[in-house]
A and B are shown apart, each in its own frame.
Chain A
Amino acid sequence: MNIEEKLYTVKYFPDNCSHLKPDDEKCKECESKICNVICPANVYEWNEDEQKMIVRYENCLECGACRITCEKKCLEWEFPRGTKGVMFKQG
């Protein structure tokens, strides 16, 4: 089963703006871009052509792993607004 199929089972109330804000300038210099690898919801993807981080924040499971692993400490991470984000039914 791939991650898209997994995420399809999750109930979300997406906001219209992102609660995850990486700093593209610093991401450019980041060699590992580890957020692209470890995020369990595949939220981050570096776009080489546009030199920017694509953030699929609406898929975020709000675990916080990206905040802790970010090497450049360039990720502004906050909880989604009160009515928004993931809603676990089977947690």
Chain B
Amino acid sequence: MSKDDSNIENKTDVIVVGGGPAGISAAVTVARSGKKVILIERGKFAGSKNVFGGAIYTKPTKEIFPDFEKTAPLERKNIEHKYALLGEEDSTVISYRQKDEDAESYTVIRSKFDRWMAKEAMKEGVIVVEETVVRELILDENRVVGIKTELEDYYSDIVILADGVNSLLSEQIGLKKEIKPEDVALSVKEVFKIPEEKINERFNINDDEGCIYQLFGGPMLGMLGLGFIYTNENSVSIGLGITLNELIERKINPYDLLEDLKSHPTIAPLIKDGELLEYSAHLIPEAGYKKLPELYAAGVMVAGDAGMLVNNIHWEGTNLAMISGKLAGETAIIALSKKDFSEKTLSRYQEALKKSFIMKDLYTYREVLDVLHKKSKDFLGYYPQKINGFFKIFTSVDCIPKRDKYREFIKSIFTDRKIPVLFSDFGNIIKLIGSVLK
């Protein structure tokens, strides 16, 4: 391709690969500046290949679609977060409930919500091409200048990759190295149809109000994995995600764990008599700050899951996707105005990410995943069980003097775990707190 490419057919200003939150946010940002942008989605429609827990977050979504609450297909506004430590049979639940006005997230169904976002983006000038898989990036002297689909080649000044966790395209050009099993979690989810009134009763909420459960332990005791429950209008989503290397080491399948989770005495009543609407699976990036891929090169930027931009500690993904997409879109606008698509110009994207909450939050938790990987048996196994054990003795009424029971409990910690191990646990906690604050 020649340098003067203005006469090439199939040439546009920006091509965005992937019609999820990152891609749509990038595309609509570019379109709003009056530049030409094509968004390519491999599914039948935006959202049809996407799976998440899940919730979208009000403030970040407003940055992309300020009035989304008026017309977007939203399920319930999440007013309550519950953190449940599951033992084998028992559980301890901590709950935080807030006023409806203060709640900051909504549950959505991706096939409806992403599709709505794509339609909004079309209204603002984004050309959306569905049912099209981008197979390869076209390079000209190390600069990305276009894409190859199954049918045609398209050219653009900039390509934004928002092609999800399995971003084959960022691997093709070496931005992302081969993903390792410890860098992703495999998640399975089931959605159960349950009447609205029953959901309200079971979760102690009103119409349009939602409740999120984050589940630790249970069948995942000792594993780097977590479960979740989200309430939709007429359905409940339940699932779990386990780091792939845990599944490999233990030779287990996540759907077996999900079956166990669903039958846990704390969980089973919540989904009782529900009709399974859909089973799904998806990978969640879990690399963390230290293993982030390169997010830009000449002619190309990477946003959302494709860039492994997920905050696992807070279960945030869609917000990082939307804002990284927006920042990539803004960088594209600057590059287009300068007619400079070099790596140096696009490095502004990395700078913008660093100034935003995205890189700051990922940096905050840079050590946490490492420690959890190494100490999952302790921090996600032993201690959650011990907390349940404490509440068991605290609530039991059995004619044994309380002091004897407390002594027995404290003694058990020192017989379960040797003193150096306890010191090491304590040291890890101090190290974690230190790293988060530093």
Contacts and interface: CB of A to CB of B under 8 A. Distances in A.
B277 interface: yes
A65 B133 contact: no
A76 B280 CA distance: 22
Interface string A65-80: 1011100000000111
Interface in A1-58: 1, 3, 5-7, 9-10, 13, 32, 34, 37-41
A61 B255 CA distance: 13
Contact of B276 (A9, A34, A37, A89): A9
A88 B111 contact: yes
A74 to B, nearest CB: 14
Main DSSP-derived SS at the B contact region: mixed
A54 B114 CA distance: 34
Nearest to B135: A78
A63 B282 contact: yes
A34 B248 contact: yes
Interface in B4-46: 42-44
Contacts of A38: 186, 244, 247-248, 252-254
Contacts of B111: 87-91
Given A64-B166, A65-B244, A90 B131 contact: no
Contact of B255 (A13, A40, A87): A40
B110 interface: yes
A61 B280 contact: yes
B253 A10 contact: no
Given A40-B281, A68-B181, A3 B244 contact: no
B61 interface: no
B179 interface: yes
A47 B252 CA distance: 20
Given A38-B253, A69-B181, A69-B248, A88 B110 contact: yes
B181 A9 contact: no
A76 to B, nearest CB: 11
B22 to A, nearest CB: 15
Contacts of B408: none
Q: How large is the interface on B (under 10, 10 to 19, 20 to 34, 35 or more residues)?
A: 35 or more
A60 B295 CA distance: 29
A83 B329 CA distance: 28
A1 to B, nearest CB: 7
B279 interface: yes
Output the residue of B51, B255, B280, B283 with the most chain A CB within 10 A.
B280
B310 interface: no
B56 to A, nearest CB: 13
Contacts of A90: 109, 111, 191, 235, 237, 277-278, 280
B150 interface: yes
Nearest to A82: B131
Contact of B279 (A7, A65, A82): A7
B47 A91 contact: yes
B58 interface: no
B261 interface: no
B48 interface: yes
A10 B181 CA distance: 26
Contact of A3 (B132, B168, B191, B255): B255
B50 interface: yes
A68 B184 contact: yes
B42 A82 contact: yes
B96 to A, nearest CB: 27
13 contacts: A13-B44, A32-B248, A62-B166, A63-B283, A64-B166, A65-B244, A67-B166, A78-B168, A81-B150, A82-B42, A86-B49, A90-B237, A91-B110
Given A37-B253, A90-B109, 16 more contacts: A1-B259, A5-B276, A6-B279, A37-B248, A38-B253, A38-B254, A40-B281, A69-B244, A78-B135, A82-B42, A82-B133, A83-B44, A88-B47, A88-B48, A88-B278, A90-B111
